[in-house]
Structure 1
Amino acid sequence: MKQIMNRMALLLCTISLAPGPASAHGATGRTRPGDHRERGDVPGWVMITLMSAVLVAALLALAGPALEGLFNQAMDKVGQ
């Protein structure tokens, strides 16, 4: 599990250090034809998604055994 977390951290560092996409504004400050002002921030959403996945994986790694114990305890009580 530690290897997976290290790989995810390395991936996040690589993504955060990668240069962003070229700006829609040229040197003159005009937008290119076909570009929309509300196009969205795709790299930002990708980063949020990856960070969320890393958080879920980290929480599962830390709380997994406790959650498994609670689940098994509940199933034992139901089975009685």
Structure 2
Amino acid sequence: MEPITRSLLQLWWLVHPPVRRDDRGDVPGWVMVTVMTAGVVALLTGILRPELSGMLRNALNSVK
């Protein structure tokens, strides 16, 4: 390789360093968040179903 070519390549790599791709995503983390959210929603729905039904019924009756 010629010295000028090598110098230009070194300069180019200095100005444009390779980009590291460490941010590909955390699939197990997203799965855990999704499963835990679904569990919380299921738990709250099971516990608060009568209250939520009453609130919805009152809201719909007030619109009529």
TM-score calculated relative to the size of structure 2: 0.56
* Runs of at least 4 residues off by over 6 Å: none
Of 23, 28, 33, the match for 1:43:
28
Pick closer, same or farther for the CA change 1:75–1:37 going to 2, 3 Å.
closer
Write 1 or 2 for the structure with the bigger share of helix.
Answer: 2
Higher relative contact order (Cα pairs below 8 Å, separated by 6+ residues): 1
| Aligned-CA RMSD value | 1.9
AA matched with 1:53: A
Ranges in structure 2 where 5+ consecutive residues have no aligned partner: 1-20
Kindly state the Cα deviation for residue 64 of structure 1 after the two structures are TM-superposed.
1.2
Listed as ranges, the gaps of 5+ residues in structure 1 are 1-35
